[in-house]
Amino acid sequence: MAQLIDGKAVAARVRAEVKAEVEQLKASRGLVPGLTVVRVGEDPASKIYVTGKKKAAEEVGFNSWEEHPDESITEDALLAIIDRLNKDPAVHGILVQLPLPKHIDSERIISAVRPEKDADGFHPMNAGKLSLGKPALRPCTPFGVMRLLQEVGCNPAGKRAVVVGRSNIVGKPMALMLLQADATVTVCHRKSDLKFEVGMADIVVAAVGVPELIKGEWIKPGAVVIDVGMNRMPDGKLKGDVEFEKAKERASFITPVPGGVGPMTIAMLMRNTLDAAKAT
C-alpha cells in the first residue's frame, strides 16, 4: 500500500523557507520581492487561482499586486501593461494568468514578459535554457514535482521515468527536469502504448487531463506515482489522471487529488519570484 505524498505539507515547508529568505533579503539589502499577477476578465477559475497566489505572496512577505483589465482589452493595451511592469523595479515577478480571451495571442503576451521576471517559467528563453540545462526560472508545476520526489527520497538517477502528456506547461519541461536528474525518460502521448510504458516505469508523472486514464493495474510494484491531473467531474468532485484506489495498492508513494501537486505549483511560484528578486 502506497504512502500518500502530502503536497499541502510540502508546500507549507517551501513557503516557510521562502519567508525566511525574504526576511534575510530585507535585512541585508532592504529588498522586498514584488509579484504582480495579470488577470484579464472574470474567468471564475482564474479568480480562485489568483486569490490563492495573492494569499501565498502575502504569507511569505512579498509585495503583491493585481492588474485586472476588462475582458475587452486590446492586445496592444495588454502589451502596454506588460511593458510598464517590465520597467517597474519594484516588480520582480510577473504572472499572466491563463487562459486569456480568444482575441489575444497568449504566446505573444507571455513572450513580452522579461525572461528574468517570468515567474511562471513559460518564456521561450527560459524554456530554451531549460532544454540546454542552463539556470533559469522553471515552470512551477514540474518544479514542484521535483521537490515532491526529493521529499520522499526518490532520486531519479538511473530510474525509468514515464511522463504521460507533452504539453509545454508540464509534460515537456517535466521530461527535461527528470532528464537533468539523470533519469531515463519516456514521454507518452495518444500514439503511445501506455500500458506497456507505464508498466516499465519506476516514476510515473501523469499530466494529460483525462480522468483515470492511467489504470492502477499498469503501475509497476513500488513505483512512485505523481498525478498532475485535476479533472472536475459532473458531481463537482476532482479526479486525477490515475486510477487512484487501485494504483495506491501497487505504488510505493502516490499523490492524492486534490492535495498533491496542486499546492506545490503556487509554492514554487513563490520560490521563482524570490529567486528573480535575489538576481537583481
Among 53, 220, 239, 248, the one annotated catalytic: 53
User: Is the CB of residue 226 less than 8 Å from the CB of residue 175?
Assistant: no
User: Is the CB of residue 147 less than 8 Å from the CB of residue 14?
Assistant: yes
Note if 159 is an active site residue: no
Half-sphere exposure in the Cβ direction for 38 (13 Å, CA): 30
Q: Per residue in 149-177, is it b (16+ CB within 10 Å) or e — as a string?
A: bebbebebeebbbbbbbbeebbbbbbbbb
Question: What's the rounded Cα separation, in Å, for the pair 258 and 229?
Answer: 9
In the chain, the amino acid numbered 137 is: L
Among 118, 120, 227, 241, the one annotated catalytic: 120
Note if 102 is an active site residue: no
Cell digits of residue 209: 487531463
Question: What's the rounded Cα separation, in Å, for the pair 110 and 122?
Answer: 7
Please tell me whether the peptide bond between 258 and the residue prior to it is cis, using omega within 30 degrees of 0: yes
- For 181-229, where are the alpha helices, taking DSSP H only? 194-199
Note if 120 is an active site residue: yes
Would you please indicate which residues are annotated as catalytic (active-site) residues?
A: 53, 97, 120
